[in-house]
A and B are shown apart, each in its own frame.
Chain A
């Protein structure tokens, strides 16, 4: 898209962040080597440059971290809520102070555009800590009983798509309610969690209250299965979520799961069409579509399908893919070669099953993991790409004729995390929202998040809610 008005490169400065050549595990307030001495490299997905070498936690390290958390629990849970609140407020403030540094770090380690880490991830991270800080001394009034007690040690396993935000969603409510935490970040995005460990030190958080264990699935499994863990919180794939549900069966561990989705974004013929196009784009291309609540299925009323698709394609042609640190980049890199391979496989399957594939003219960088924004038309409920979560910048377009049909198709999924409704008719919004089996419904908007607003799924998208007053329940003995 050569234009007369060609935006010059506008890269955010990397110099605001100082990444050490190596990092340890954060256990009991100290950075330490893994017991087995194992390490792994974390790379920048946009360039494949090695950013740092990180200690890889194993079962022995998990045990050490859980013991540290257990030891810290006694004092931490006995602390007046008002004191715990102040620690969390401190953390929120330090995150705000260091937000540019953390945004650049997150963009480097994850591959997502700086525009998003700067304008979405980091503000939400700080807001989440700020919100739950205020709950710490008000738990008696939260509607979860008169004197709700913490559970103990929380084992938390988080994904790579919003590394620091998912950490905030897990750690903020856990600490506010008086639990201590052992958290395992994803193996492709360990850095922001390790920087968070440093923030905990700056905030003077007592040792052992937060422990960070970079590692792979084996460390996650060891954490989930550890007998002295009282609470398991997981965000990630539905397959792993099911395995975790099986592994905690028969125990007293409280479990919350935030898993996959195949969100339907329903556009009626009376939709505010330009805003609907923006909502569709935001719904599936925000964070390269690597979002559990992505609007990955576009259900459009047949009477406006052509018009909408023309507008959508025109809009996709203006998306700017490239250097995630460039402030004008809309589409960054896919997080890993594994994820790129999965997206590629599913897209090939979509083509093989006869759906029509379209992408705007788009030059992909020669190194790193990239996938062009992709649209599939002629998709039916029978196509794999209409059923399986792709977790990438790939939109499947289906049509419907009546509101009943739209709802039936939207609900025809093993998942039930998110949905969108676009119509100017208020009563239709309420009627359709009421019928959708999804935990979050965005009407005339999409992919909006707020710490006060509970988030979580129906059906195989998991259970429990994160955010808001509801999010406290997951960490309280109620």
Chain B
């Protein structure tokens, strides 16, 4: 029996018609791009050292959705990634595991098997990722397939074409349909592809649209376009989940994905979380990094903190 997200009930009047939804989304406060980017840049100057850095590195590792989304993915590649997720640093067993491994639906079974016995979740992109250019039944089947194979989390893409054409209700209904398909079996991350939405006003509107439709997470990007996660678009989405909780009491997670490659950048994102939504979100249940190469840099920095020596790429695993 599909469940309706509790937040959806609170917005029943807003989502009753295309025009009501449009009025609501266009009534959200505007975003001044320069001011938003200045705030993100200012938080980027925080200096995170010693104990704070150690905490942030472990937290960041634990928040990674370790991702492989290639046409060339094989069960072997996925198994290697899963092993890395469970045991990121073979030289230091105190290293936290990553939050999840993120793969295409047809790799879910392989990932699930490789992760058996661990706490690492399997996330699967679905809904005709990354373009999302397929009919709803196809998207539903894609989702059902991933869940049937054991996916704990579904990373869906929205129909950016429909969004940019102003067909907000269509986007809403698609998310709600996927949400229903996920039911209690999988948490749903909704990818906006912020680089294609282009404006910050659109990102705020998409955030609310996704949250009202029942997203458990809102996620910046697929990692497949030119501009993916940035401090500014992530800050904006953090503001959205903060405001959404203030209004509905429902907490939603945030996942920046794509382009976060080193520890310094990752820590900047954690500072954004810390100073925008606070410690309630400083947990991998509520914040994730969609990344792959980030992990090794975090591990090298972790080794540096532990030993006092700078590490090198030969001292972390290539998977």
Tell me, yes or no, whether A and B come into direct contact in the complex with CB atoms closer than 8 A: yes
Residues on A lying within 8 angstroms of B by beta carbon are 3-10, 115, 119, 270-275, 278-279, 318, 327-328, 424, 444-445
The majority secondary structure among interface residues of chain B is helix
Residue B134 CB within 8 A of the other chain: no
Q: What number of residue pairs across chains A and B have CB atoms under 8 A from each other? A: 74
| Docked-complex contact B52 and A272, CB < 8 angstroms | no
5 shortest interchain CB distances as A-B pairs: A275-B35, A10-B47, A327-B47, A424-B30, A272-B32
Beyond A5-B55, A5-B274, whether A275 also contacts B32 by CB under 8 A is yes
The verdict on B141 contacting chain A, using a C-beta distance below 8 Å, is: no
Give B205 Cβ to nearest chain A Cβ, in Å.
14
- In the bound complex, do residue A6 and residue B52 qualify as a contact, i.e. CB atoms below 8 Å apart? yes
A444/B35 in contact, CB under 8 A: yes
Contacting pair A327 B29 (CB below 8 A): no
Q: How far is the CB of B231 from chain A (nearest CB, A)?
A: 14
Q: How far is the CA of A444 from the CA of B38 in the complex (A)?
A: 12
B45 proximity list for chain A (CB < 8 A): 115, 119, 327
Please determine whether A328 and B46 come into contact, CB atoms closer than 8 angstroms: yes
Q: B307 on the interface (CB 8 Å rule)?
A: no
CA distance A16 to B48 in the complex (A): 21
Tell whether B147 is near chain A: CB-to-CB under 8 Å. no
Confirm or deny: B76 has a beta carbon within 8 angstroms of a beta carbon on chain A: no
Whether A318 and B53, one on each chain, are in contact in the complex, defined by CB atoms closer than 8 angstroms, is no
Query: Complex Cα distance A4/B283, Å?
Result: 10
Is B270 part of the binding interface, using a Cβ–Cβ cutoff of 8 Å?
A: yes
Given A3-B278, A3-B279, verify A8-B29 contact (CB < 8 Å). Answer: no
Contact B279 A272 (CB under 8 A): no
Q: Say whether B279 contacts A4, CB under 8 Å.
A: yes
17 example contacts (A-B, Cβ-Cβ < 8 A) are as follows: A3-B278, A3-B279, A3-B282, A5-B52, A5-B55, A5-B56, A6-B51, A6-B55, A7-B49, A7-B52, A115-B45, A272-B31, A272-B35, A274-B35, A275-B39, A278-B39, A444-B34
Whether B51 contacts A271 by the Cβ 8 Å rule is: no
What's the nearest-Cβ distance from chain B to residue A202, in Å?
29
Note all chain B residues with C-beta closer than 8 A to A279.
35
Q: Judge whether A5 and B49 touch: CB under 8 Å.
A: no
Bound CA span A424–B33, Å: 12
- Are B50 and A8 closer than 8 Å at their CB atoms? yes
Known contacts A275-B35, A275-B39, A278-B39; A4 and B29 CB within 8 A of each other: no
Chain A residue, CB-CB nearest to B276: A318
Could you tell me which residues of chain B, from 296 to 313, have a CB within 8 Å of some CB in chain A? none
A424's closest neighbor in chain B, by CB? Answer: B30
Bound-complex Cα distance A119 to B41 (A):
12
Query: Bound state CA distance, A219 and B236, in angstroms?
Result: 52
List chain B residues, Cβ under 8 A from A272. Answer: 29-32, 35
Across-interface contacts of B36 in A (CB, < 8 A): 274-275
Q: Do A328 and B47 touch (CB < 8 A)?
A: yes
Closest A residue to B48 by CB, please name it: A7
- Complex CA–CA separation, A149 to B275 (angstroms): 53
CA A275 to CA B204, docked complex, whole Å: 13
Q: Is the CB of B32 within 8 A of A444?
A: yes
Residue B190 lies at the interface, judged by CB distance under 8 Å to chain A: no
Q: How far is the CA of A278 from the CA of B50 in the complex (A)?
A: 29
Nearest CB of chain B from residue A411's CB, rounded to whole Å: 25
Q: B residues within 8 A CB of A273?
A: 29
Least CB distance, B9 to chain A, in whole angstroms: 23
**Distance of B112 from chain A, by nearest CB (Å):** 31
Interface centre among A6, A9, A115, A274 (most CB of B within 10 A): A274
Q: Are B31 and A275 in contact (CB under 8 A)?
A: yes
- Choose among B35, B49, B59, B279 the residue that contacts A278 (Cβ–Cβ < 8 A): B35
Known: A3-B274, A278-B39; 16 extra A-B contacts, CB below 8 A, are A4-B55, A4-B279, A5-B55, A5-B279, A6-B51, A8-B48, A8-B53, A119-B45, A272-B29, A272-B30, A274-B39, A274-B236, A274-B239, A275-B36, A327-B46, A444-B35
Query: In the complex the two chains form, what is the Cα distance from A424 to B30 in whole Å?
Result: 7
Chain A residues near B274 (CB-CB < 8 A): 3, 5
Q: How far is the CA of A271 from the CA of B28 in the complex (A)?
A: 10
Closest to B246 in A: A310
A3 to B45, CA, bound (A): 19
Provide the bound-state CA to CA distance between A270 and B282, in Å: 32
> Are B49 and A274 in touch, CB under 8 angstroms?
no
CB distance from A86 to the nearest CB of B (A): 34
Chain A residues, CB < 8 A from B49: 7-10
Question: Bound state CA distance, A96 and B34, in angstroms?
Answer: 26
Checking B34, B52, B282 against A445 with a beta-carbon cut-off of 8 angstroms, the contacting residue is B34
- Give the nearest-CB partner of B56 in chain A: A5
Question: What is the 8 Å Cβ interface bit string for chain B, positions 228-267, against chain A (1 contact, 0 not)?
Answer: 0000000010010000000000000000000000000000
Please give me the residue from chain A that is nearest to B54 by CB atom: A8
Could you give, for residues 134-165 of chain B, a 1 whenever the CB lies within 8 Å of some chain A CB and a 0 otherwise? 00000000000000000000000000000000
With a cutoff of 8 Å between Cβ atoms, the chain A residues found around residue B275 in the complex are: 318
The reply to whether B282 and A274 contact each other, CB–CB distance below 8 Å, is no
Chain A positions within 8 Å of B39 at CB level: 274-275, 278
Bound CA span A6–B53, Å = 10
Residues of B within 8 A of A4 (CB): 55, 279, 282
CB distance from B276 to the nearest CB of A (A): 8
Between A5, A115, A278, the greatest number of chain B beta carbons within 10 A of the residue's beta carbon is seen for A5
| Distance (whole angstroms) from the CB of B49 to the closest CB of chain A | 5
For residue A322, give the distance in angstroms from its CB to the closest CB of chain B: 13
Bound Cα distance from A271 to B31, whole angstroms: 9
Contacts of A5 in B (CB 8 A): 52, 55-56, 59, 270, 274, 279, 282
For the complex, what is the distance from the CA of A424 to the CA of B27, rounded to whole Å?
A: 12
**Chain B proximity of A453: nearest CB distance (Å):** 16
Contacts of B48 in A (CB 8 A): 7-8, 10
B204 to chain A minimum Cβ distance, whole angstroms, is 9
Taken together as a complex, chains A and B put the C-alpha atoms of A424 and B200 apart, in Å, by 13
Compute how far the CA of A327 lies from the CA of B38 in the bound complex, rounded to whole angstroms.
17
Distance between Cα atoms of A444 and B274 in the complex (Å): 25
B30 contact from A115, A270, A328, Cβ within 8 A: A270
Residues on the A chain within 8 Å of B278, using CB = 3
For A9, the chain B residues whose CB sits under 8 A away are 49
Q: Which of A115, A270, A272, A278 has the most CB of B within 10 A?
A: A272
- Chain B residues with CB under 8 Å of A115's CB are 45
